[in-house]
Every structure is written in structure tokens, then in C-alpha cells.
Amino acid sequence: MAAPRLPIPRLAMVALHLALLLAQTVTAARPMPEREAATASLHATPASPCDIAPHRRHRLDAAGPHASYSRFIPPDDLYFVVAAPHFSEHCGGCQVLHRLCDRLNVIFADVRDTPLCYMVPMSDPRGHQLNLNQRYKTPMLPAWLNASASIALYPEVVTGNPLAAERVINWILYFPGVNGGPPASGYDASNLVACYSPGFCADFDGETFNKVALRIVDYEFTYFVNADPPPTGRSGALTFRHKEYFSTPRLGRIHTDGNFSVPENPIADGGKRSRVEQYARADSFHSMDPATFRSVEASMAGAVSVVVPVPGVDKAEWMASVGDEFRYGVAYGADDMDRARATLPCVMPHLHHLAAQERRRLTSFVQQALTHFEGRRTV
């Protein structure tokens, strides 16, 4: 069958279109003269201080990080037991331990009739009740469940295996051995090592230990909805001292130099809401603690955060320990303040992007834990 014949005018249009495409290709391939290149650079759109424009971040997540993971259903007999101190909004490690258990229960609630995670007191795993966050789904381990049959998760400050669990995860929330608990060499190599950030796990030999990422944050965005500066504008600097040290395999434990570049003005710690109100009034927040999440909180409220640099530790090494939440709005040293201030508009979109990945990250963690312990049993 003969192909249909195009009318002459349409053939002419097709030929013209092809000629234009050819001309554009030749022009694009021709090296741009120096003057034209200079003119083009003047009219180019300036690069965004954010790596991914905020509107693109949400579009990337719109397809749903849950889609490829929601089909995973944990075994009915699987449950985690998290050993933790009392919940306190003044204690970052306390918060993330409780938050982990809450998220495991919330994320898998639609595929389970029983909780996937329970809490026990860190100081006395078989004893008293914990103070819990009433917003969280964090049930205490019931008497009829045997903790030894669980996957027990301990923060790095716990030594040994108080629950006598068959399967143990050591969650490294800070440098091991610095705040209590054993150094990396004191851990059982059959345990799974979960790393809050890569830098905290640098002491764990990858050939000896199986390491997985486990980072979770309760951003509590609602606290920042009305965190507006006063009509007169921001003014002054806040300062914060807490853990004034750092640790690296290269240098060991290092203390900060103890000197702020601004007059010392300690933030009054009356709880999260009080802190946010103070951040909203301040122009900057300066921390002697190189890893506190309060540096991120301050940037969420619109204040420029400045981390006092650790002697001998460059920004890349510091970032490897503190995590991706510190990417925008937080300066590593006074010399980095201009970049931090320019990227303050990136803070909230970036953190929403990280929060949207939570289900994917935790599902992956559960799968990796099961794989680790199933592999260990077959050895």
C-alpha cells in the first residue's frame, strides 16, 4: 500500500522546520566568541544557593517515597525493643530514641495488629516506667512479651546487652566511648551497628562490623509556623555551650577553643517553644557544641547559626558527623556566615524534603536489620 502523499504546503513546512533545527544545531556547536560569551553571562540566571530548587524538591517527592516500600510487611513475630532514658525535649538523644519507636509503630500500623516497637528504661530495662511523649505511639514492653526474643536497640552509652536479647543493634548517636559506654573496639562484632551519621561510626572497621544508616529527626515544624521576628527586626547574638568537644579517628577527642567571636549571651533554655521565640528575635546563634541540633533549630527560625570550628577539623570532616540537616543556614566558623545567611531560605524546604524520606529510610533499616540477623544465623 502506497504511503499517503503530503500536500505540497505541508511538505514545505516540514522542510523549513528541518532547516531551522539544522541551523540551531550548527549554531550550538560553533564556539561562542568571547564577547558573546561575556554578554550571555550577564543575562544568565544566577545559580540558586540551594542545590535543588524548593519547588523541585517537593515534585521529586510527590511520586511518593512510600510507593516502592509500602509493600514490605514485617514478619508478625518481629518486634523491636528500644532502651531509652525518660523523654525530655532538653535531651537530643532521648528524643530520637523515643521518636524511632514512634515512627516504626506509625509507619507499619496499617499492616500490623500489634506494635512493631516497645520501650524499656535504659537504666533498668526490667524495671520502672518511663516518662513518655504523649504525642508518640511508644508503648512500654508488656510483661507477657519476652525481651530476649526481640531485636534490642541500645544507644552507644549502654554497655553490653542488659536485655539478654538474641539480636542486638547498637545505635551510635555520638562518638562511641565519649559520653560513656565502650569504645568501638568494645562492641560485639555480631551486633548490627546503626550510625546516626557516618562520622560517628568512623572508628568501626567496615570489615569487622556491619554498619547501616539510621537517622531520624522530629523537626516539629509547627513550632516555627509563627516564628516571626519582631517589628523592629532581629538583633543580637545568642550563644550556647554544651558538649564542647569533638572526636575523630585521626585526632582522637578534641576540645573546642572555648572562645566565641561575639559577646557571650547564653540562650535561656525554658523548653522548645521558649528557644524558638529567642531564635526568632536574634540575628545569629553561636554554638560551642559542634553537633547540637539547636544550630539547625535556630536556622529554622531565621537566625544565622554559627558553629565554632573545632581545631584541626575542616568543614567536610565536621559535616560528615553532623548530618545533612546542617547543610543550609548553618556556618562553620564566622568566615562561612555569608553563605549561611544566603541559604537561610533553603532551610525549611530542605528539611521538608528530608522528612518526606522518613518512611523509605526506616523501611530500608528494618529490611537491612532482618537481612543482617538472618545471615548471621545461617553462618
Residue 114: what pLDDT?
A: 93
d(CA 190, CA 328): 37
Residue 229: what pLDDT?
A: 86
- How do 192-195 and 210-213 pair as beta strands? parallel
Residue 269: what pLDDT?
A: 78
The structural domains of the chain, ordered by start, are: 80-218+357-378 (3.40.50), 221-342 (no CATH)
Question: What are the Cα distances from residue 179, in Å, to 10, 155, 176, 183, 324?
Answer: 78, 11, 7, 10, 23
* Residue whose C-alpha cell reads 540566571 in the numeric block: 45
| Cell numbers representing residue 369 in the block | 536489620
Provide the residue-wise pLDDT of the chain in tens; the chain has 379 residues: 444 444 434 444 434 444 444 444 433 344 444 333 333 332 333 344 576 544 443 333 333 333 344 568 888 899 999 999 999 888 888 999 999 999 999 999 988 999 999 999 987 766 678 899 999 999 999 989 998 999 999 999 999 999 999 999 999 998 888 778 898 889 999 999 999 988 888 888 778 999 999 999 999 998 898 888 888 899 999 999 887 667 666 666 777 777 788 888 888 877 888 999 999 999 999 999 888 999 999 999 999 999 999 888 899 888 888 889 999 999 999 999 999 999 999 999 999 999 999 999 999 999 999 999 987 543 3
Residue 92: what pLDDT?
A: 85
SS3 200: helix
Residue 320: what pLDDT?
A: 83
d(CA 333, CA 356): 30
For 81-132, the three-class secondary structure string (H helix, E strand, C coil) is EEEECCCCCCCHHHHHHHHHHHHHHHHCHHHCCCCCEEEEECCCCCCCCCCC
**Cβ contacts of 326 within 8 Å, gap of 6 or more:** 295, 296, 307, 319
Q: For residue 97, which phi and psi values (nearest 5 degrees)?
A: -65, -45
d(CA 269, CA 85): 20
Residue 47: what pLDDT?
A: 45
Residue 174: what pLDDT?
A: 87
Amino acid at 140: M
Q: How many CB atoms lie within 10 A of CB 219?
A: 18
The percent helix, strand, coil of the chain (3-state, each to 5) is 40, 15, 45
- How do 210-213 and 252-255 pair as beta strands? unpaired
Residue 127: what pLDDT?
A: 63
Residue 379: what pLDDT?
A: 30
Residue 49: what pLDDT?
A: 58
d(CA 182, CA 160): 9
Residue 239: what pLDDT?
A: 93
Strand partners, 246: 254
d(CA 374, CA 378): 7
